[in-house]
Amino acid sequence: MVGLLLLLGLALTLLGLFLWPFFRFATPPIVLWTVGSLVLLKKNPRILLQWRHVWIGNLLLVLPLAGLLHLYQPNWGGTIGSDILGEPNVMGLIRILGLSIVTILVMFPIKSWKAMCKTATLSRLSVRLITPLLLAATFKAMTLIRTSLITISKLCRGFLETALQFRSSTRAILKVKPRTIIDPHNAIDTDALMIEEIITADTVTYSPPIASPETESDALQSNRSERQPESPIPMRVRISPTDVGWKPPSIDLLEKPEEAWVSHLENEERGRMIEQTLSDYGIEVTVEEIRPGPVVTQFGVVPGWTRKYRDVQDRDLEGNPVRDAAGRLAKRRVEEKIRVKVDSILSREKDLALALAARSIRFEAPVPGESFVGLEVPNSSPSMVSLRALLESPLFAQLQSKGALPIALGKGSGGDPVIADLSEMPHMLIAGATGSGKSVCINSIITSLLFQFSPVDLRLLLIDPKRVELTPYQGLPHLLAPVLVESEDALPALRNLILEMQSRYKKFEQRRARNIRAYNDQSTEVSSRLPYIVVIIDELADLMMTVPVEVEQSLCRLAQLGRATGIHLVLATQRPSVDVLTGLIKANVPSRISFAV
């Protein structure tokens, strides 16, 4: 036994001497690991098999230990420590840290894998939560930077323009004598350095204006307009003698096309198909009314009854059960009816569209003023809606007799004309993609107004950045100014409208009138009447891209205070996004028309 121990000690000593040049002071842990392994192999080898990962990891732990010893003192880690650390820099520390992580992964593989999965999950969650916040913060920062740059550029441009004007005016009036070199030993009079005023040879004569403002408010308004930036195109607000003799065009200029309606037999067949389709799903309905329209036909669907039956024991007047001839208890069948729910009809929208072979159908539940559900089905052959038929409708004539601003919009699903009063809206927003009918709607509105009012009663301000939609109206006497096609010309025109609105309020105050209708009723002469002003902007997005803050402020000011003075806005855009239609514009424009967007 003693011999074996001596032999084992000799072997360990030789192992230590062999490993000393490679590991130096990291050799004792290797010797201890070898002794422990031999003892466990003799006592209980199953422990090594059960904890084999920890056993191998303890041996690998010698490698980062040798690197740390070499980092602490050169040559303490041997050649292995020198190779691991290399130069004592960041890369050496990274290699030592990598060996430590590999050792931990070998010692605890399952726990390390679970920890890595949890870390990856937390990283994904943090990225999902932080990314939207970073994007939102970046977007807000870019918006603030863009607004700041626009404001700074405008201030710099205004400052430079003011400086150039002041410099030119100073050069025209004043002339500075050249400075002479002053000798400090000689007394020179300082009056030689004074700036003398030079009067130009041509005398400037002042001629008073030909037409002075009629009232004090007009004079104040003209002074304010001088301080405000003028529109590059003069706006003609006052009534001229040629406007008084203008007559509306004849209605015969508009064609009256033949309206092709769907046959009554075809609509009745569709009504029976609707009843049968819903009956197949256990929904009892009745089509009681059919309203054909130019594009769609509305079917009035009345919900039926959900019928349930149950057997009830029959009793006599005294409450005793009644028996039949065979001596059995007599029973009778009772019917219970419950009205069909509207939601059960609406849930069969796709089934009805399939049965009717329609591209899409629409429910109106319920129809205002009616006790049925409206089902709108597209016609097989749509008919054209003529503007002349709308202008000749009794509803249009009724609104026109009340002194309103009726505009023809089209026909409803039941074929009834849709006429709106622009003075009651009082402003309107039209949104629709290209080709959805937005420009046709704007042309219908303008034509409806031109066929009713003369330039004495109505003026138009048309802004068309696209240059092709509203330019055909160029030259009309109703225009306040030629059709504006440049975005830079729109802002001064809107500011001049604000000045006109303020001037009208002062006139209302003098006559104690609440609105433009009351003011015109008090006017005895045609020249003193105030015309309605309708502002139509075909593409609002182009204006909001150039000067968004100023355009938004001008439009909101006109929308808030323009109704009483007879100024109405019709705004159209292709994309009703937040950067085009801000919250203030949406809040002040209550009426909206939506096409396909």
At 501, which CATH number?
3.40.50.300
Residue 125 — φ and ψ, nearest 5°?
-65, -45
Residue at 210 is within a domain: no
Measured between alpha carbons, how far is residue 482 from residues 109, 238, 470, 574 in Å?
81, 15, 10, 24
Measured between alpha carbons, how far is residue 316 from residues 321, 323, 332, 413, 445 in Å?
6, 10, 12, 57, 74
Signed CA dihedral, 272, 278, 279, 283: sign only: negative
* Domain identity same for 417 and 434: no
* Domain identity same for 402 and 470: no
To 10 degrees, what angle do helices 52-60 and 27-43 make? Answer: 160
- The tokens for 558 are 């006109």
Signed CA dihedral, 112, 115, 116, 117: sign only: positive
pLDDT at residue 501, as a whole number: 93
* Domain identity same for 519 and 562: yes
SS3 417: strand
pLDDT at residue 301, as a whole number: 93
Q: How far apart are CA 6 and CA 2, in angstroms?
A: 6
Measured between alpha carbons, how far is residue 29 from residues 23, 47, 67 in Å?
10, 20, 14
How many structural domains is the chain composed of? 4
* Domain identity same for 399 and 428: no
Q: How far apart are CA 377 and CA 296, in angstroms?
A: 5
State the residue range of the domain holding 463.
422-594
pLDDT at residue 225, as a whole number: 41
pLDDT at residue 245, as a whole number: 66
What are 571's strand-pairing partners? 429, 537
Q: How far apart are CA 83 and CA 91, in angstroms?
A: 12
* Domain identity same for 305 and 347: yes
For 145-172, the DSSP string reads HHHHHHHHHHHHHHHHHHHHHHHHHHHH
Residue 501: in which H helix or E strand, if any?
Answer: helix 487-511
Residue 173 CB-half CA count within 13 A: 7
* Domain identity same for 475 and 589: yes
Q: Domain boundary at 325, 357, 378, which? A: 378
At 349, which CATH number?
3.30.980.40
pLDDT at residue 1, as a whole number: 60
Q: Is residue 563 a contact partner of residue 507, using CB atoms and an 8 Å limit?
A: no
Cβ neighbours of residue 403 closer than 8 Å, sequence gap 6 or more: 517
Measured between alpha carbons, how far is residue 77 from residues 13, 74, 91, 97, 132 in Å?
19, 7, 17, 16, 50
CA 244 to chain centre: 44
CB atoms under 10 Å from CB of 243, counted, come to 19
* Domain identity same for 373 and 436: no
What are 428's strand-pairing partners? 570, 591
* Domain identity same for 434 and 580: yes
Residue at 557 is within a domain: yes
Q: Domain boundary at 63, 88, 107, which? A: 107
pLDDT at residue 459, as a whole number: 92
* Domain identity same for 397 and 526: no
Question: Is the bond leading into 74 cis (omega within 30 degrees of zero)?
Answer: no
Q: How far apart are CA 530 and CA 518, in angstroms?
A: 11
Residue at 163 is within a domain: no
pLDDT at residue 88, as a whole number: 64
Q: Domain boundary at 321, 350, 378, which? A: 378
- The tokens for 488 are 């830079």
Residue 361 — φ and ψ, nearest 5°?
-130, 165
What are 377's strand-pairing partners? 297
The type of residue at 40 is L
Q: Is residue 441 a contact partner of residue 593, using CB atoms and an 8 Å limit?
A: yes
Q: Given phi > 0 = left and psi -120 to 50 = alpha, else beta, which region is 299?
A: beta
Residue at 128 is within a domain: no
Q: How far apart are CA 286 and CA 300, in angstroms?
A: 8
Residue showing tokens 């107004």: 449
CA dihedral 383, 384, 387, 390 (to 10 degrees): 10
Q: How far apart are CA 12 and CA 37, in angstroms?
A: 13
Residue at 53 is within a domain: yes
* Domain identity same for 469 and 368: no
Residue at 253 is within a domain: no
* Domain identity same for 300 and 410: no
* Domain identity same for 305 and 291: yes
SS3 238: coil
Q: Is residue 343 a contact partner of residue 324, using CB atoms and an 8 Å limit?
A: no
Residue at 63 is within a domain: yes
Measured between alpha carbons, how far is residue 401 from residues 22, 395, 521 in Å?
111, 10, 15
pLDDT at residue 3, as a whole number: 67
Ranges of the chain with pLDDT below 70: 1-5, 8, 12, 16, 48, 85, 87-89, 168-245, 257, 259-261, 597
Q: Is residue 62 a contact partner of residue 22, using CB atoms and an 8 Å limit?
A: no
Residue at 433 is within a domain: yes
